[in-house]
Chain A
Amino acid sequence: MQFVFSGLTTGAIYALAALGFSLIYNASGVINFAQGDFLMLGGMVTAALLAHQMPYGLAMVGGVAATVIVGLLLYRLAIRPAGEASVVSLIIITIGASIFIQGVVQIVLGKNQQTLPPFSGDRALQIMGAYVLPQSLWVLGTAAVLVVLCFGFFRFTMVGKAMLAVAANALAARGVGIPTARVLQLSFGLSALLGAVAGVVAAPVTTTVYDIGLMLGMKGFVAATLGGLGSGLGAVVGGLIVGLLEALVAGYISSAYKDAVPFVMIVVILLVMPHGLFGAKTSDRV
């Protein structure tokens, strides 16, 4: 039970990272390799503001806001100028952005691990025989709320639908009057927002450091792929499965090698079910 709870907690973090991937992928077909760094930024900036005696709530807002700005700038300064670049170029650009962000954070905020205080104390609660930190419940709760919001956004709002339209066919979307550039910009901002919130909520559990985004991003991607890229529900289920498996491997086999889990999984998943659990079946255009 203990493993299950810790697995679900990390799983929820991966799910939020996966959701960010899905969001940008949904709107633009780009996989943003800097997604994990949004999580890192949220946590790191909050920690830095906190260290400057800012109240916790305000620091969190600051951390999230800074990350959203970075997300918007990433689109504005790097993705959009590349124009109609190939997917390969866009992948390379986001890899460049990822390492650039890590580099800047490392210089400005330092290489040390940072942690945030838990939101509501650190007295472990006892649930079904397992000890659970209150922060884990915060993580799970935040994940649930964000997932529902995302679902509602795509299902019931005009902007969300416009985003899906741009993803399906950008040219046609422009044809019916959707400002595609603004929608794409919004998708980067939103996924940065998702990432930052996830990063802030997760930081008390996982601690945070300038290069943690690499791992979080990779696992988020595996989760998104497992669930089916672009599917919100898939991202959540995928995240929880990855988190659980990892916790079980760490608990029963070897904690040193738990980070190998997602890598092995991704190869297996993509071979056995290339569209994931909930992904739409599509065929490539030639």
Chain B
Amino acid sequence: MKALFRPSLLALALVLALLPFALPNNYVVDIAVRIALAAIAAIGLNLLMGFAGQISIGHAAFVAIGAYVSGIVTARFGWPPLAAIGGAAVGAAVVAWLIAKPILRLKGHSLTMATLGLGVIVNIVLINEVDWTGGPDGMPVPPLEVAGFAFAKVRHWYALAAVLLWLSVLLSLNLYQSPAGRALRGLNGSEVAARVMGVDVARFKVRAFVASAVFAAASGSLTAHYLGFISPSIAAFTHSVELATMVVLGGMASTFGAVLGAALMTALPQLLGGLHGYEMVFFGLVLMLTMIFLPKGLVPSIALKLRRKG
């Protein structure tokens, strides 16, 4: 419970609560909702990349699984959206758990390639199973409705996304401090050393993988209901790289870094008036420049600077 009253969390709650009053119009609120939803996925990916040090460039696969499970069970089987979101999270967790065992035996570049392969396969499945997914044209998704209350306005969505984002940050921060988080950071530093210290490396990696998949799936299903439409591009390589860029830019192993990364990567293109085909150039540049000049990412680098001054 102590964690609830941490200054950073209180500050975040305050910012999230006051933000809607500062945002001039629905267009900006819409961007805020997108940021919050993306940040949930980024926080999840950070568990895997930042804490456990395992790079995934196929994480959009789990976002897509979340989105499509949600979309398919609500549109084709008439599930209530809330049950669908839960179902999508469970589905993604099961998929992640099944592939985690073999895939996480791999290290470094092999693991990264395997996650890339996962993303490619999910993309192929989404495009080819036209009867279920609508194929390349995508499919519509019914709007979110909980116990008769329809999330029809952007501001409803903002409230929901803000609460969920705050909860995600809380979970992630708690995990960071917990014995499990310490174990993960340990195996990031040196897997052998962690094993010597008695950390069950394989089990913790699997858990981090499953947890990050659940975050991604939750973000995916919510996004699907929010936008009301999904297409296979949600599982595209570009989207995976976008997620990884958020984590890297904000700062690996920093929860707030993931949030900041998501905010920048979502808001900047909008502020620049859309990227119009320049997305790939932009993501690629951000990735390379961050790694060369700020290998720790924004938030940790800034924190370090402040600490030195103070």
Contact = CB atoms under 8 A, between A and B. Distances in A.
Contact of B113 (A96, A221, A259): A221
Contacts of B286: 96
B15 interface: no
B117 A104 contact: no
A98 interface: yes
Given A92-B248, A93-B287, A102-B280, A262 B117 contact: yes
A128 interface: no
Nearest to B283: A99
Contacts of B245: 96
A105 to B, nearest CB: 9
Contacts of A286: 190, 192-193
B121 A85 contact: no
Contacts, number: 127
Interface string B272-284: 0000011111111
A173 to B, nearest CB: 22
B287 A218 contact: no
A103 B281 contact: yes
A101 B283 CA distance: 11
| Chain A interface mostly | helix
A100 B280 contact: yes
B291 A93 contact: yes
A145 interface: no
B241 interface: yes
Contact of A100 (B55, B57, B113, B281): B281
B110 A95 contact: no
Interface string A250-286: 0000001101101100110011000000000000101
Contact of A82 (B102, B116, B118, B291): B291
A137 interface: no
Given A88-B55, A103-B284, A81 B114 contact: no
A104 to B, nearest CB: 6
A100 B110 contact: no
A33 B237 CA distance: 13
Interface residues of A, number: 43
Contact of B291 (A92, A102, A214, A215): A92
Interface in A193-218: 211, 214-215, 218
Given A88-B55, A221-B113, A106 B277 contact: yes
Given A100-B284, A100-B288, A92 B117 contact: no
A127 interface: no
B285 interface: yes
Interface in A57-92: 78, 81-82, 85, 87-89, 91-92
Given A85-B295, A103-B282, A106-B277, A256 B124 contact: yes
A31 to B, nearest CB: 4
Contacts of A99: 237-238, 241, 280, 283-284, 287
Given A267-B114, A270-B114, A286-B190, 8 more contacts: A89-B295, A97-B288, A98-B284, A100-B280, A107-B277, A218-B117, A270-B106, A270-B110
20 contacts: A31-B109, A92-B248, A93-B287, A93-B292, A95-B112, A95-B244, A97-B284, A100-B283, A103-B281, A106-B277, A106-B280, A211-B237, A214-B116, A259-B121, A262-B117, A263-B120, A263-B121, A270-B105, A271-B102, A286-B192
Which 8 residue pairs across A and B have the least CB separation, nearest first? A100-B284, A103-B280, A96-B287, A263-B117, A103-B281, A31-B109, A96-B288, A99-B284
